Amino acid sequence: MRISPPTTLPSALSTPLLPSSTPPPVVIAGKMPEIHLGAHTIKSHGVTVARFHMHDWLILILLGVIEIVLNVINPFYRFVGQDMMTDLKYPHQDNTVPFWAVPLIAVLLPFLVILVVYFYRRDVYDFHHAILGLLYSALITGVITDAIKDAVGRPRPDFFWRCFPDGKAEFDSVTGNVVCHGLKHVIKEGHKSFPSGHTSWSFAGLTFLSWYLSGKIRVFDRRGHVAKLCLVFLPLLVAALVGISRVDDYWHHWQDVFAGGFLGLIVASFCYLQFFPPPYDPDGWGPHAYFRMLEESRNSVQQSSAANHLRVQPTELESIRIASENGMSISEFHQGESSPILDGSEGGRRR
């Protein structure tokens, strides 16, 4: 007996297959359907996803350590002569946006938005990658910003009053450099003007939030709902106002704010696109990992189904093997199998 595979596969295999518990997707205009939402939660898949990105979390911790070190070490104390003090005599005053408020604006606010989206969609892939991208945006920006601050050592606009809090200037008779007699930590901060850390952190976190919202509300769906842009531009406006406050408080020059904003915007954009498609993409609403998981699931089910259709029933193969071991030919086996009486009758057997 010769067993030949079917020349064509069943028509059901020509479309992606999903487990029986999941309804088949409806593909429209080449878009990846929004399926499986709610099936991959933090409780069910959170540990698996986190383990897969364990090295990313370890690098994130390393970036945090580097950021702490860069804030502890002293910056480069740039030469400041008497003729340079003209632009460095602005009043020394408190911050409109205090230091402790920056993480709240740049990290906590986007985190709350991402958390709300998670409770709505129940997609751990989206939640995990959004949080990871947000933290990388903030920490990479922070490390680059503080590394440049320490290397450049540019004096702040209020450096005179940091260096000479009593208003009595003193300069070295040989080099002409300042001889500061203010508080050491105040003078240290006075050499960290370029670029603006408040601005770079704010633009990093809030630019990532703008990208994230763009994908979730489908800003570029070509339906002409321009009002959606107001929601996307709102985080950028908040970041810009933080930067403006740094100039108004005389803690930074305008160049510091411009460089900090540009740095945060670029880093956040790279980090977002590392985890998510561009918002104008048909699948811009979800992370790359989610669609990769769908493709792997479909391919696995499709291959399994195809193998089932091509497989010969094991009972028949086993019967042929047993008949062969008993000295029966395949033709004799099938002749006996075709007898009207298979058991309990001598007429139905050939000896």
Active site residues: 198, 252
Taking the C-alpha atoms of residue 325 and residue 25, their distance in angstroms, rounded to an integer, is: 50
Taking the C-alpha atoms of residue 329 and residue 139, their distance in angstroms, rounded to an integer, is: 75
Helix or strand run (H / E) with residue 295 = helix 288-310
Instruction: Please provide the size of the chain in residues.
Output: 351
Q: Are 67 and 184 in contact (CB under 8 A)?
A: no
Q: Could you give the C-alpha distances from 275 to 64, 132, 309, in angstroms and in order?
A: 20, 9, 38
Rg, Å, the chain Cα set:
34
Q: Could you give the C-alpha distances from 245 to 90, 196, 256, in angstroms and in order?
A: 15, 11, 12
Q: Which two three-digit tokens encode residue 183?
A: 């508080």
Q: Which residue has the tokens 């920056």?
A: 102
Q: Which residue has the tokens 């399926």?
A: 35
Q: Which two three-digit tokens encode residue 236?
A: 């950028």
Q: Are 289 and 129 in contact (CB under 8 A)?
A: yes
Assign 148 to helix, strand or coil: helix
Query: Cis ω on the peptide bond leading into residue 195 (within 30° of 0)?
Result: yes
Q: Which residue has the tokens 């104390």?
A: 77
Assign 40 to helix, strand or coil: strand
CB atoms within 10 A of CB 124: 23
Assign 107 to helix, strand or coil: helix
